[in-house]
Amino acid sequence: MPDGYYVHPGTVMGKDAFIGRFAVIGEQPQKAGEYPATVIGDGAVIRSHTVIYYGNKIGRGFQTGHHAFIRELNEIGDNVSIGTGSIVEHHVKIGNNARLHSHVFVPEYTVLEDNCWLGPNVVLTNAKYPLSPDAKKNLAGPTIKAGAKIGANSTVLPGVVIGENALVGAGSVVVKDVAPGAVVVGNPARVIKNVNKLPY
């Protein structure tokens, strides 16, 4: 195991974890106090310069790329991969076998279900009215249902639900819910077919 990383007190590390240089696990706010434990499951690979805040509950087989940033109080399942430069804000739920490629942004109160897949530079959003005085009270992250796939450089608006096994084409802007199994493309995204019509 390389040296130069830091694991805060109150962190529970699983067996056979690898932590790269300059990674920080269990990061806490500057104000004094007691904070929920961070739990990292067996077999984690946390690459260099990754920062994971306090109170995360992370399952087995977790992996990050370099410079991943994961805020506090998230629930993350088994065999989840979060790529280089990706950001996961707080109070996010991520199911088993989810994959987030490089430079993905996941805001507060998002739900990513089992086996979903987010391509590079996907941006999920949660503020319907960003400059309103009550913006923080009305945050609503998207829900990406099980098996859904979102292509590179796509943007998903607040509160949108991407249905099971749906496919969002690269570069799309998704402004409304997507039905299970639908293929959507464009800005605004529109349905062009069903995934059972794809050649694979």
Which of 89, 72, 88 minimizes the C-alpha distance to 80?
88
**Distance between CA 193 and CA 162 in Å, rounded?**
15
Q: Is residue 113 part of a domain?
A: no
Residue 47 belongs to domain with CATH number: 2.160.10.10
Helix (H/G/I), strand (E/B), else coil: 136: helix
Q: Is residue 108 part of a domain?
A: no
How many domains does one find in the chain? 2
Report phi then psi at 195, rounded to 5.
-60, -25
Q: Is residue 139 part of a domain?
A: yes
Same domain, 93 and 126: no
The residue from 57, 82, 97 where one domain ends is 97
Same domain, 67 and 136: no
Per the CB < 8 A criterion, the answer to whether 101 and 83 are in contact is yes
Domain that holds residue 28: 1-97
User: Long-range contact list for 136-139, CB < 8 A, 24+ apart?
Assistant: 139/107, 139/108, 139/109
Q: Is residue 111 part of a domain?
A: no
pTM metric for this prediction? 0.96
Same domain, 1 and 93: yes
pLDDT tens-place values along the chain, 200 residues long? 677 999 999 899 999 999 999 999 999 988 878 889 999 999 999 999 999 999 999 999 999 999 999 999 999 999 999 999 999 999 999 999 999 999 999 999 999 999 999 999 999 999 998 888 888 889 999 999 999 999 999 999 999 999 999 999 999 999 999 999 999 999 999 999 999 988 87
